[in-house]
Amino acid sequence: RRDAPAGGEWRQRTEEQWRGKAQVREVEEEERQEHHGKESVPRGTCQTMCPTRELQDRQLQNCLHRFELLAGTERDRRPRGDPLRAVKEYSRPAAGKDSTNSSDLRPAAVLLKTVCYLIDKVAASPHLRPWTEASVISPVYNFVFDRLRGVKQDMIIQRSSGLNCVAILERTVRFLIYASYRLCGEPLRLYDPRINDTHLQENLSWLLDCYATGTEPHPNQEEFQALGLLYNLAQHIMELPERLRCSPAVTLALSINRAFNERNPVRVLRLARRLNFIQSCALHRHLVSCRRDLLLIYSHGFNSRNCRFPLDRLAQLLCLDASLTTRLCQAHGVEVNRDNQLIFSKAAFTEPEQEQLHCKLYHNIVAEKQRDHSVGDIIHGCT
C-alpha cells in the first residue's frame, strides 16, 4: 500500500499497540484479583461462642473442658456441653480441613462478647481457682489462653478490623501482660513464658498497627503505646505523633526506657514507683536485671575494705524489704555483716544460678499496686 508506514515505523507502532494491550490486560487482571479477593474473604454467621457442630463433635468425643459442662452432668459417663458456656477452641490448620465455613466463624461482635465472657466468667471468677496448679487439670489460664487463640484465629480468617477488633486486642494484651506477672516463676509444665511472650508480641503488634492505620479515635492508644515501651524497652517512640509522645503515660515510659538503656538502674526503679499496676506488670520482667545492675555498679563503686553501706538504704533503692534485700545480696556475693551493713567487693560479685533467683519473691513493687483491683477490672482497663 502507498500509505503504509515504513518497516521501522510499522514495527514501532505494532510494539506500542501490543504494550498498550498488555498493560490493559494487567490492569484488568489486577482488578479481577482484587475483586475476587474481596469476595473470597469469609464472613462469620455463627451467633454463639461455640459453633453447634463443634459442640456436638467434642461432646461425642468426650473432649469438653470442665468449664463448658452442663451443670448436673459432670459425673455422667458422657457429660453434656452447655451452649451458654462452651467456647470454640483453637485448632491448628490441617490439610483438607475447611476453616472458612461461615457457620463456624463468629462475627466481630460475637467475638467481643466471647472475650468478655472469658474475662468476666472465667479469668475473674472467684470460684474458678487457682489460675494454674499441678493438681488441677486444665486450669484457668490454659483455658482462657487457648480460647483467645481461637478468637484470634477467627479474626485472621475474616481479616477483622475496626473498633471491635481493637477492643478484643486490647483485652487480650492486658490479659497476657497480667499473666506474665501473675504466673512468673511457675513450672514450665504449667506456664511457658516464651509462648506467652510470643502471643503477647503478636497481639500488641497487631493492635499498634490498627492504631496506625485506623481512622477512628482510639482513647486507649496512649495506654498501649506506653505498655509496649515498658514491656519491650525499645525506642520506637519517635515514630509516634507528637501528641502521643507528649502524653503523661508515654513520657514516663520513655523516661524509664532511656534510663534502662543508659544502664541507670537507680533511676529506673525510682521512676517505676510512679507506674500503675498494669504498667508495673509490663515492666516487671526487667526488674531482675535492673537490680542485678545496681548491685554490680555498687560493687565497683564502693569497692573498699573500710566502706560500709547501710542495708536499709539499699532496700529502699531496690524497692524491697530488708530480708529480701539480704537474700538478693547474698545471692550476688555481697556480704551482709551483723550490723546490717553491706560490704561491697567487685572481686566477690557473682552471677547466681537462675534457680537461686525466684523472681516471684521480688514482686513487692508490683504487688503493692494491685490493692483491691479485681482481675476483671485490670483486664477491662477499669483501674
Does 55 lie in the same domain as 196?
yes
Does 181 lie in the same domain as 79?
yes
User: Given this model, what pLDDT does residue 216 score?
Assistant: 86
What does the alpha-carbon distance between residue 193 and residue 200 come to, in Å, rounded to a whole number? 10
Does 209 lie in the same domain as 87?
yes
The residue type of 374 is S
Residue listed under C-alpha cell 500500500: 1
Confidence of residue 13 (pLDDT cuts 50, 70, 90): low
Spatial contact of 296 and 196, defined as CB atoms under 8 Å apart:
no
Does 187 lie in the same domain as 68?
yes
Note down the domain range covering 66.
42-91+99-215
Does 199 lie in the same domain as 306?
no
Confidence of residue 144 (pLDDT cuts 50, 70, 90): very high
Query: Is residue 274 a part of any domain in this protein?
Result: no
Q: Cell numbers at residue 356, please?
A: 537461686
Give the sheet arrangement for strand 335-336, strand by strand. 309-310, 341-343, 335-336
Query: Is residue 379 a part of any domain in this protein?
Result: no
Query: Is residue 272 a part of any domain in this protein?
Result: no
Please tell me the pTM assigned to this model. Answer: 0.85
Does 164 lie in the same domain as 83?
yes
Does 294 lie in the same domain as 203?
no
Domain count, the chain: 2
Does 130 lie in the same domain as 49?
yes
Express each pLDDT in 296-329 by its tens digit: 999 999 998 889 999 999 999 999 999 999 999 9
Give the DSSP per-residue string, 174-221.
HHHHHHHHHTTT--TTT--HHHHHHHHHHHHHHHHHHHHH--S--TTH
Q: Which helix (H) or strand (E) holds 341?
A: strand 341-343
The residue type of 327 is R
Query: Is residue 226 a part of any domain in this protein?
Result: no
Confidence of residue 238 (pLDDT cuts 50, 70, 90): low
Q: Which helix (H) or strand (E) holds 133?
A: none
